[in-house]
């Protein structure tokens, strides 16, 4: 028996429709999209464009061609940061960020970019007023996570978006933890650049993700240059979307799976997804708080957060708890620093980190009860 509670890292199992779509694509649609005029190439191109449309509709982006596919959110964030920022610019971020933001900004700081890393509150959220106060005349970009991958709390992105837009900077949001489980609307939230991944709550395969670009974003410097199937008579790289940011052949098979994953999410409806997530996380949180020696790091309320709860157990390291859970009941979870070292310093859990439980669409109440019972056994074991 296996109980999978590591959906914040990658969702599992995937819907059957995702695997079926990928098999069909492999069998019938894997010519090179946009490179040839024959029917197989055109069929592949239709798969890719349908995936662009699905992503654009999901995040409130008017132009599907402004969806640039990448292999994950990390690549998308690098594309945004290295594509926008230049020496002399100032960028505002936070100490809640994943290393996919922290590490590229560290490199850019060494190249002459000024970086302000805002502290967070006890619930790992940021104040829009603190973001406003951090602006300087050189502020070019604000880059923030939509939700903490450690404790699950949602940042007030719409309020921060208004602050950023009033000051005529660009706003980049890391939606790796929220696309598929929380409302994301680029226009309504004032988001200019949105990085997403396909393999988490969109239920697509690994190797899929992208960067969505709003109309205020100037042309970005690409990360790579090369063949696009367009302007083949020139050795100059295209300057139009999405070709300018998609050199090389895209992952057509993966995008077929991503499209099916988005369709799965949409078939359930965001309201149901959020309600199910709140119910699961409320049961987990209440059960954890009832156990002796457990320190729950995530907020008690199931609202305003993604379906993630992190905790520590007195007398045990986080890795020991995760190992015991798997040995006793086949429970798969995440222990450690979750690629967010600065946040764990803010929470006082560095360097050991915490244990993270993240249920998904296929997690049932019996699995949650088994998990809580296994933790109780660990606590009571001699």
Report the alpha-carbon angle 200-97-273, nearest 5. Answer: 30
Average confidence (pLDDT) over 250-261: 98
Same domain, 203 and 172: yes
- Going by C-alpha positions, the residue among 321, 310, 314, 320 that lies closest to residue 354 is 310
pLDDT at 137: 97
| Rounded distance between C-alpha atoms, residue 344 and residue 94, angstroms | 13
Whether 183 and 68 share a structural domain: yes
Identify whether residues 95 and 203 lie together within a single domain.
yes
> Are the CB atoms for 302 and 274 separated by under 8 Å?
no
Main-chain dihedrals φ then ψ at residue 371, nearest 5 degrees:
-65, -45
| d(C-alpha 298, C-alpha 324), whole Å | 21
Do 55 and 95 share a domain, yes or no? Answer: yes
CATH number of the domain at 341, please.
3.90.1150.10
Q: Which domain holds residue 332?
A: 3-12+270-380
What backbone phi and psi angles, to 5 degrees, belong to 118? -80, 140
The first and second tokens of residue 316, run together, are 């045990």
> Is the same domain home to 278 and 245?
no
Going by the DSSP 8-state scheme, the letter that residue 153 receives in this structure is B
Closest CA to 354 of 337, 340, 341: 337
Q: How many domains does the chain have?
A: 2
Using the 3D structure, point to which of 248, 267, 286 is the last residue of a domain: 267
Of 152, 165, 153, 191, give the one whose Cα is nearest residue 66.
191
How far does CA 226 lie from the centroid of its chain? 27
**Cα gap 110→274, rounded to integer Å:** 41
Residues 50 and 133 placed together within one structural domain of the fold? yes
State pLDDT tens for residues 123-155.
888 999 999 999 999 999 999 999 999 999 999
Average pLDDT over residues 92-110: 98
For residues 349-361, average pLDDT: 97
Which 3 state secondary structure label does DSSP give 205? coil
> So what's the pLDDT on residue 303?
79
């Amino acid at each position: 028996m296996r109980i999978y509670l590591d959906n914040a890292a990658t969702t599992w199992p995937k819907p059957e429709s995702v695997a079926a779509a990928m098999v069909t694509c492999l069998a019938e649609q894997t010519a090179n999209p946009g490179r040839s005029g024959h029917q197989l190439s055109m069929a592949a191109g239709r798969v890719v464009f349908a995936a662009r449309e699905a992503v654009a509709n999901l995040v409130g982006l008017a132009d599907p061609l402004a969806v640039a596919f990448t292999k994950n959110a990390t690549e998308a964030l690098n594309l945004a940061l290295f594509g926008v920022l230049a020496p002399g610019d100032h960028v505002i971020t936070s100490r809640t960020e994943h290393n996919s933001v922290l590490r590229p900004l560290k490199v850019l700081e060494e190249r002459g970019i000024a970086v302000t890393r805002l502290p967070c509150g006890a619930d790992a959220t940021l104040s829009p007023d603190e973001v406003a106060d951090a602006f300087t005349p050189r502020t070019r970009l604000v880059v923030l996570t939509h939700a903490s991958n450690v404790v699950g709390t949602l940042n007030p992105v719409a309020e921060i978006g208004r602050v950023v837009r009033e000051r005529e900077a660009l706003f980049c949001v890391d939606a790796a933890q929220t696309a598929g489980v929380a409302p994301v609307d680029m226009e309504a939230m004032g988001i200019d650049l949105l990085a997403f991944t396909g393999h988490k709550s969109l239920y697509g395969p690994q190797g899929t993700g992208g960067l969505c670009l709003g109309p205020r974003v100037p042309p970005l410097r690409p990360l790579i240059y090369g063949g696009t199937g367009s302007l083949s008579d020139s050795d100059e790289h295209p300057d139009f979307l999405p070709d300018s940011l998609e050199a090389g052949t895209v992952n057509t098979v993966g995008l077929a799976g991503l499209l099916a994953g988005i369709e799965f999410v949409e078939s359930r409806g965001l309201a149901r997804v959020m309600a199910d997530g709140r119910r699961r996380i409320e049961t987990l949180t209440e059960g954890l708080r009832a156990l002796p020696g457990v320190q729950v790091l995530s907020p008690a309320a199931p609202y305003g957060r993604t379906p993630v709860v992190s905790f520590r157990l007195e007398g045990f390291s986080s890795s020991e708890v995760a190992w015991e859970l798997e040995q006793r009941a086949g429970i798969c979870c995440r222990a450690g620093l979750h690629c967010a070292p600065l946040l764990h310093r803010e929470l006082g859990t560095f360097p050991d980190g915490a244990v993270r439980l993240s249920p998904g669409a296929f997690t049932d109440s019996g699995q949650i009860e088994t998990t809580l019972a296994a933790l109780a056994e660990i606590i009571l074991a001699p």
